[in-house]
Amino acid sequence: MKRIWSLFAVLALLCALTIPALAAAGGTADAEPAVQTVSEEELARSEENTTKVRKIWAVAALIGVACFGGALGMAHSVAKAANNMAEQPEAAGQIRTSMMMGLVFIETVIIYALIIAILIIFVL
């Protein structure tokens, strides 16, 4: 149970770290205007680049967590299935079918994470 709570804590931390990536890149309203020689066009470009870099880091964290969790889940299910097939060879067909269905569902979650990552990059 402790491992589950620590996993939830890590996922919550990663979600909290991706919030700035989706926020608008703006300054504070209270700051005094400083004398700058930067044109409005250059300022807009730098803010756009900052937002793109934040999106890239958010997507990298999302894909990293999804792939890491999926790989752990797949490894665990294949190990358990191989162990059960070794103990009960007569049920190997049913165990293999159940394992493959589980692997399909785990892979689906990883593909959904990839789709969300692509949406974050190109739509937001």
Say whether pTM exceeds 0.75: no
81-112 pLDDT, tens digit each: 999 999 999 999 999 999 999 999 999 999 99
29-42 pLDDT, tens digit each: 555 555 556 677 77
Question: Three-state SS across the chain?
Answer: CHHHHHHHHHHHHHHHHHHHHHCCCCCCCCCCCCCCCCCHHHHHHHHHHHHHHHHHHHHHHHHHHHHHHHHHHHHHHHHHHHHHHHHCHHHHHHHHHHHHHHHHHHHHHHHHHHHHHHHHHHCC
